């Protein structure tokens, strides 16, 4: 029987690579671990134990997925990033310092059970849920 331990990686198609790198690296603290943008249009980011693959729509890999994401035709509903323990106030203050709209924290279920989380949007309009570990 298979047992899932966490998110391994997600793939996001983008037309805004520099804005996406700023959002995921500068705002959320991910690190670039592999770049093959010139060859196939892929940049891989380390997000804790997982990876976020950014695929440029114009690159070889991105062209296989069709047209660019739009507000109506996103290729992802949302994904959740599990954060090291941090207060709701500290999360909100950090996001506001980066001009990210902050909504309301709500009690939602996740891999570690119920707890407060918040939804934000990346530059392509993908919904990112942030949830602090207990």
Query: What's the token pair of residue 50?
Result: 């997982």
Phi/psi-derived region of residue 86, left when phi > 0, alpha when psi is between -120 and 50, beta in every other case: beta
Query: What's the token pair of residue 130?
Result: 């942030």
Q: Is the pLDDT of residue 1 over 60?
A: no
> Where are the extended beta strands (E) located within the chain?
9-14, 31-35, 42-47, 50-56, 78-83, 106-110, 113-121, 127-132
- C-alpha 98/C-alpha 24 separation (Å) is 12
Stated as kind and residue range, the H or E segment containing 30 is none
Instruction: Indicate the Cα dihedral angle 17, 23, 25, 26, nearest 10°.
Output: 130
pLDDT digits (tens, 9 = 90+) for 91-113: 999 999 999 999 899 998 787 78
Domains and CATH numbers, the chain: 9-132 (3.10.180.10)
Stated as kind and residue range, the H or E segment containing 37 is none
- Give this prediction's pTM: 0.78
pLDDT digits (tens, 9 = 90+) for 22-65: 999 999 999 999 998 677 889 999 998 899 989 898 888 777 77
């Amino acid at each position: 029987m298979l047992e899932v331990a966490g998110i391994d990686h997600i793939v996001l198609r983008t037309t805004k690579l520099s804005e996406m790198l700023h959002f995921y690296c500068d705002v959320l603290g991910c690190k670039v671990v592999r770049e093959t943008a010139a060859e196939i249009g892929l940049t891989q980011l380390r997000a804790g134990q997982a990876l976020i693959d950014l695929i440029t729509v114009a690159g070889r890999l991105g062209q296989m997925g069709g047209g660019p994401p739009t507000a109506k035709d996103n290729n992802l509903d949302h994904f959740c990033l599990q954060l090291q323990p941090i207060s709701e106030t500290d999360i909100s203050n950090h996001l506001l310092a980066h001009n990210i709209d902050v909504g309301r924290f709500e009690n939602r279920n996740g891999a570690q059970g119920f707890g407060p989380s918040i939804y934000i949007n990346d530059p392509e309009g993908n919904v990112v849920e942030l949830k602090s570990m207990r």
